[in-house]
């Protein structure tokens, strides 16, 4: 071995033992002197490798050692349990760099086993659509670590042609990850090779890009027509999936159908969505670039993204606001929602016992959106139609909005008008007619298509809703047969295990489920998970602004312009929290189940996320100032503090206690 780098400590104090017992502390200016000679350093490194490899099977160890009379002594060794776990079986070399999908989804919780398998199966279906054929065992892109999902970026980093594109991808959705990734570019193990793509790889890439490029061009020429065509295809796909699911009579049939549905999504639906979404996002980014180049600021371009039409999540939020208005207009319904807590209201709804106007309005809402829920990207998590307590709590918070000017539908319309004004100003500010026409064209395409950003995930969740309802039927049958304790236990088994059960395999499956539930609950206790995880054990947790600025402000990524002052409300679980109108929502991250809270929020601060993640998009649409990617925001900010959130500059200033 060899020493690759040396950093000498200050060594300002030395604590030495005395012959008669006790210690003595000595001031010692030894900053320029090595504590160990080079040969001892190499010997110590060799000892550490031997202990880890030969005595403990490669498990990381915390080692205590001593050196006396030129000889090293091993005092003790114990396993390091605080390190973030690596994917099972992954070796340190060759070095792999993995990006957290949980951060992109705004979901810090672990995935259930069946939820993990579903994401991998979905990835395999999408890969097959572009000519890449793998199995769950042979694919090397999606990994599970700490029951979270990580995506391997390494092939792109090592590719000379794509390296500089790959390192910028996280910046769109998770800027904290981009900072960490950029810090790794000089790592000797991550230097690009010059091999490039194989001829076959180039042909496949060219074919895929030609199809995508053609569809992007169609979306830019006729955005409304393309949107209507794709959404019609989606509705037919979901209707067919529901009809076929209703006909299944066994777990074996359900597992086959679920794979067929995933394959159909990968073959037909995903490839249709991608170009349309890319067209909308390209228009937005090009409009921002044009504004920055010509005006020195992208503020008008960000304003132009307010009140976007055709956003399924915004439509859901406004539909729930309409439900609240129905309840407010009926005295019996309004009284019941004022007196009961959310859990009682949910129980009443499931029993059909709410006052009739409330029951009917909520049934219509949940018939349409009941497949949604907290951490909904995990097939194993409960949906609103199973437990609507969260929906009831949000309705109660809406009922407390008594300022007509802050009514969500009014705010949304106001945002759309502000966007129109911003576009007019942006176009008028261009230095020549050609650039004015470009700004107008890009703005029109962004308005027509960027709202569709939420639709692919909404479609995935609708698809999962079909699968979850279908599999719960089998879960109830397995519980009735004594194989499982409850129907929901089915989601704590892997696909391969369910195939074995469907084939008649017997075993103590409840014991397996119980052990996994215990492990799952332990993993849920993790407050931080790595944004980037490396195969050698290195983990990058920090987001933007890990250090407080000199003026005491906290920094992050500005994603929704505007400045607001309000009282902090730190939220970890939207199901158990109601926001008072105008409060500043501070949370780890959000998925669509959180966004009904946005209608009451005055501002948004998130630990994860970027310009195009879910919470940022919705915040812009409602005109809520937002700063995201803020390192440990939920611990650095406290409920009850009064803060100023500057979504234009990306700064949060604590003003005091309320």
Please list the active-site residues: 614
Contact present, 636 and 554 (Cβ < 8 Å): yes
d(CA 637, CA 628): 13
Three-state helix/strand/coil letters over 488-543? HHHHHCCHHHHHHHHCCCCCCHHHHHHHHHHHHHHHHCCCCCCCEEECCCCEECCC
Q: Is the peptide bond before 233 cis (omega within 30 degrees of 0)?
A: no
- Spatial CB neighbours of 82, under 8 Å, sequence gap ≥ 6: none
Both tokens assigned to 58: 């490669």
Residues 589 and 608: their CA atoms lie apart, in Å, by: 6
The tokens for 35 are 């504590």
21, with CB counted inside 10 A (0-12, 13-18, 19+), is: exposed
Helices (H), 576-638: 614-622, 633-636
3-state secondary structure of 642: strand
Peptide bond into 94 cis (omega under 30): yes
Strands 554-555 and 651-657: antiparallel
Cβ distance 582 to 566 under 8 Å? yes
Find out whether 81 and 62 touch, Cβ atoms under 8 Å: no
Give me Rg for the CA atoms of the chain. Answer: 28
Residue closest to 147 by CA, chosen among 115, 106, 184:
115
Distance CA 569, CA 604 (A): 10
Structure tokens at 496: 């391969």
> Do 556 and 627 form a contact (C-beta atoms < 8 A)?
yes
User: H helices of 70-144, where?
Assistant: 101-105, 113-129
């Amino acid at each position: 071995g060899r020493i690759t780098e040396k950093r000498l400590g200050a060594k300002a104090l030395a604590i030495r033992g005395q012959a008669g017992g006790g210690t003595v502390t000595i001031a010692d200016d030894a900053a320029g002197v090595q504590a160990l000679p080079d040969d001892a350093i190499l010997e110590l490194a060799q000892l550490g490798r031997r202990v880890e490899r030969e005595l403990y099977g490669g498990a990381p160890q915390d080692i205590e050692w001593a050196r006396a009379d030129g000889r090293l002594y091993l005092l003790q060794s114990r396993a390091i349990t605080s390190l973030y776990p690596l994917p099972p079986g992954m070796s340190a070399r060759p070095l792999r760099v993995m990006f957290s999908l949980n951060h992109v989804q705004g979901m810090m919780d672990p995935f259930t086993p069946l939820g993990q398998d579903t994401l991998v199966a979905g990835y395999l279906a999408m890969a097959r659509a572009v000519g890449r054929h793998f199995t769950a065992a042979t694919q090397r892109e999606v990994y599970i670590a700490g029951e979270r999902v990580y995506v391997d970026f390494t092939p792109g980093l090592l590719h000379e042609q794509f390296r500089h594109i790959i390192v910028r991808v996280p910046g769109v959705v998770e800027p904290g990850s981009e900072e960490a990734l950029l810090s790794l570019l000089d790592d000797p193990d991550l230097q690009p090779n010059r091999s490039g793509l194989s001829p076959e790889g180039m042909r496949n890439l060219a074919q895929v890009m030609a199809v995508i490029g053609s569809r992007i061009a169609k979306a830019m020429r006729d955005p409304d027509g393309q949107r209507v065509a794709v959404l019609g295809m989606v509705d037919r796909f979901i209707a067919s999936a529901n009809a076929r699911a209703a006909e299944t009579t066994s777990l074996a049939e359900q597992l086959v159908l679920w794979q067929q549905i995933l394959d159909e999504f990968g073959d037909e639906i995903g490839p249709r969505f991608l170009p349309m979404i890319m067209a909308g996002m390209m228009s937005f980014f090009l409009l921002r670039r044009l504004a920055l180049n010509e005006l020195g600021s992208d503020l008008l371009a960000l304003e132009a993204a307010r009140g976007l039409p055709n956003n399924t999540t915004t439509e859901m939020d406004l539909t729930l606001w309409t439900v609240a208005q129905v309840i407010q207009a009926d005295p019996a319904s309004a009284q019941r929602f004022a007196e009961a807590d959310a859990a009682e209201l949910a129980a009443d709804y499931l029993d059909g016992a709410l006052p009739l106007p409330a029951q009917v309005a909520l049934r219509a809402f949940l018939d349409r959106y009941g497949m949604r829920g907290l951490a909904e990207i995990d097939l194993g998590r409960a949906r609103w139609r199973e437990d609507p307590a969260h929906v009831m709590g949000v309705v109660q918070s809406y009922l407390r909005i008594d300022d007509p000017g802050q009514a969500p539908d009014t705010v949304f319309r106001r945002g759309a008008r502000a966007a129109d004004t911003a576009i007019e100003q942006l176009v008028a500010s261009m230095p020549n007619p050609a650039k004015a026409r470009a700004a107008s064209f890009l703005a029109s395409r962004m308005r027509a298509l960027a709202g569709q950003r939420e639709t692919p995930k909404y479609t995935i969740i609708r698809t999962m809703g079909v699968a979850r309802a279908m599999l719960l039927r089998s879960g109830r049958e397995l519980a009735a047969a004594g194989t499982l304790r409850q129907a929901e236990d089915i989601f704590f088994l892997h696909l391969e295990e369910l195939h074995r059960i469907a084939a008649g395999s017997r075993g103590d499956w409840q014991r397996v489920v119980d052990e996994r539930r215990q492990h799952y609950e332990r993993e849920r206790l993790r407050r931080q998970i790595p944004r980037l995880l490396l195969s050698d054990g290195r983990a990058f947790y920090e987001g933007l602004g890990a250090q407080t600025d000199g003026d005491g402000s906290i920094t992050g990524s500005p994603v929704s312009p505007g400045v607001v002052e309000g009282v902090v409300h730190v939220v970890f679980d939207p199901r158990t929290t109601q926001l008072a109108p105008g409060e500043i929502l501070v949370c780890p991250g959000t998925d669509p189940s959180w966004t009904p809270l946005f209608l009451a929020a005055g501002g948004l601060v998130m630990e994860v996320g970027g310009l195009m993640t879910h919470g940022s998009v919705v915040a812009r649409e409602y005109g809520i100032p937002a700063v995201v990617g803020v390192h440990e925001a939920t611990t650095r900010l406290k409920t009850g503090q009064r803060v100023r959130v500057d979504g234009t500059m990306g700064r949060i200033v604590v003003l005091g206690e309320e």
